[in-house]
Amino acid sequence: MVESHDIVKPIIGLEIHVELATATKMFCRCRNHFGDPPNTNVCPVCIGMPGVLPVMNRVAVELSMKVGLALNCTVPDFTKWDRKSYYYPDLPKNYQISQYDLPLNVDGHIEVPLADGSIKKVRILRAHLEEDAGKNVHDNPAHTGVDLNRAGVPLLEIVSQPDMNSPEEAGAYGRAMQRLVRWLGASEANMQMGHMRFEPNINLHITRGGVTYKTPIVEVKNLNSFRSLEGAVAYEINRQYSEWLGNPDYTLDKCGKQNRGWDDVRLQTVFQREKEEAHDYRYFPEPDLVPVLVDAEWRERLRGQIVELPLARRARYMGEYGLTFKEADALTQDAPTGDLLDAAVAAGADAKRCTNLLLGRGAAIANERGCSIAEVGLSAGQLTDLAKMTDAGEINATAAAKLFDKLAAEGGSPRELAQAEGLLAVRDESALAAWVEEAVSANAQAADDARSEDPKKRKKAFGFLMGQVMQRSKGAAAPAAVQKLLQEKLGL
C-alpha cells in the first residue's frame, strides 16, 4: 500500500537467456539436445581440457543475427568474442566465451501488446551470443552432481533497457519475446526444458516532497516461467518499498546492487550475493577465436529470410479475414500454424471456417499432444477440402469435427473418408421429409410452440425440432434442407 504523499514508479529491465535451436553446440560438434543421460554430449572442448580450440557454429551466429534484425537492432560490421572469467562447478574451464563491448546486435526495440489494447515500446540495449554453462544436479542428498550436457550450448542473451514499469508489462514483454524467437525458428523457447530463462532487474523511483529516491537495483536470477517472472517483480516492488519506508538509507547510492533468487514455494525472493560488476569478471578478448565480420550482403540475405512477424500478421488477420483479436492472436503463436491458414485461404477456403476448425478440434488435439496446431497432422489441402465441404453443406459441423480427428490420426482424403464413414450429408428429399414428419408427429407440443406468437418460445421449440430431426438422421441430414422442410411442415 503506497502512502498518499509518495509517488512510486517501478523501473524494470529484463535479461532473457535463449538457448538456440542448433543441432550442435556453440564451439564444438557435440549434440545440442535436452533430456539425454548426464554427461553423454561432451567432448574435450566443452569440458575444458587443456590445449583444445573452439570453432564457431555459423548457424548459431546467423540465428542470433536474425533475432537482432527482427528486433530492429543494428548488426555491426565488426564484433568479437571475450572471456568472462568466474569459477563455478558447472563451468569447467573457469571462463565463459561471451561478448562484452562489441556484441552482435545493438540498439533495437520491440513493440509489445498489452492487455488493455495499448502498445508498449521496449528498447533493446544488446543481444549478444555466448555459450551456456552446465547444470548442477541436487537429486542426491549426499552430494551435488554436475551435468555438462548443456555446457557450450549456444545462448543468446537479450538485454532490454529499463523501460517496463509493472509486473504485467514484464510478463507481456517476455511472452512477446518467446513468440518472436519461436516464430523465427531460433529457439523452441520451452521453459520446462531450460530453453528460456528470465532475469529481471528491478528498483523503485520514489518521489516524496519533490525529492526522488532510488532503491537498490535487484537482479532476480534464473526464472523459468512467466508466473515466476511476474511474481518476483511484484514481490520486489512491495519489498523494496517496505524496506525504504523502514530505512531512508535503503538507496542505490548507499546500498548498491544485489542478486536475489526466487523461492517458488514461499513466493518470495531471497538474498544471494552482492551483484558483480564488469571488472569482477576480468573480461579480455578471446585469443582463440577470430572476430565476426559482417558485410552488407550477409546481413541483407538474413533480413530477407525474416517472414512476416507476429504483430503484423495478427493485424492482417483481423483486417483481411475479419478475425477477432483472440482468434488472430491464437493463430499467430507460431508461423507454421498461420501458414496453414493462409495456404487454405489462398486455395479458396473461407478464412472464418478454417479458423473455427483450427481453433476447435485443431487446438484440442494440439493441447492433448503438447504440440502446435500446425503439428497435429492436417495439411493445407485437407483443411481446404474440409472447409469447402462444410460450407457447401456436404457435411455438418459435427461431421467436420469427426473428420478432422480422423485426418489428424490417419491422414487421407476428407471426401473419401466422409464417404467411408457415412458422414456425407443426406440431401434426398424423401428421406429428409420422413425424418421431419416423425419429429413433428412425436412432439406435438413443440410443434404448437413453434407456431406461437411468443418469439422466444417459437425459437426454442424450432431449435428443439431441428435437433430431433438431426438425431433421427444420426447427424447425416443437411441442416439447411431440414430447416426449409421443417418451416414448410409447420407453415412458418
Compute the distance between CA of residue 367 and CA of residue 187 in angstroms, rounded to an integer.
20
Average pLDDT over residues 462-486: 82
* Domain housing 314: 307-420
Tell whether 325 is covered by a domain.
yes
| pLDDT value at 6 more than 70 | yes
How many domains are contained in the chain?
3
pTM, two decimals, is 0.83
Domain match, 115 and 156 both: yes
* Residues 231/30, Cβ–Cβ less than 8 Å: no
135-137 and 145-147 as β-strands: parallel, antiparallel, unpaired? antiparallel
* Residues 70/306, Cβ–Cβ less than 8 Å: yes
Tell whether 248 is covered by a domain.
no
Q: Which residue has the higher pLDDT, 437 or 426?
A: 437
Name the percent of the chain lying above pLDDT 70.
Answer: 98
pLDDT of residue 427: 67
Domain match, 396 and 442 both: no
245: Cβ contacts below 8 Å, ≥ 6 apart: 3
* Residues 361/354, Cβ–Cβ less than 8 Å: no
Tell whether 41 is covered by a domain.
yes
85-89, 123-127, 240-244, 350-354: which has the minimum mean pLDDT?
85-89
Domain match, 434 and 338 both: no
Domain match, 162 and 69 both: yes
Domain match, 382 and 446 both: no
Residue appearing with cell numbers 473461407: 350
Tell whether 483 is covered by a domain.
yes
Tell whether 159 is covered by a domain.
yes
| Cell reading at 461 | 421449440
Give per-residue pLDDT as tens, 146-186: 999 999 999 999 999 999 999 999 999 999 999 999 999 99
Identify the band that residue 291 occupies on the pLDDT scale cut at 50, 70 and 90: very high
105-113 and 119-131 as β-strands: parallel, antiparallel, unpaired? antiparallel
Domain match, 86 and 62 both: yes
Q: Which residue has the higher pLDDT, 33 or 435?
A: 33
Helix %, strand %, coil % of the chain (to 5) = 40, 20, 35
Numbers of helices and strands, H then E, in the chain: 17, 16
pLDDT of residue 95: 93
Per-residue exposure over 408-435, b if at least 16 CB sit within 10 Å of its own CB, e if not: beeeeebbebbeeeebbbbeeeeebbeb
Domain match, 406 and 449 both: no
Identify the band that residue 426 occupies on the pLDDT scale cut at 50, 70 and 90: low
Domain match, 287 and 407 both: no
Residue appearing with cell numbers 464417404: 419
Domain match, 22 and 137 both: yes
Give per-residue pLDDT as tens, 214-256: 999 999 999 999 999 999 999 999 999 999 999 988 999 888 8
Domain match, 186 and 107 both: yes
| CATH number for position 446 | 1.10.10.410
Q: Residue length, the chain?
A: 492
Tell whether 260 is covered by a domain.
no
CB atoms within 10 A of CB 463: 12
Domain match, 442 and 401 both: no
Tell whether 244 is covered by a domain.
no
The single-letter code of the amino acid at 31 is R
CB atoms within 10 A of CB 225: 16
Average pLDDT over residues 307-322: 93
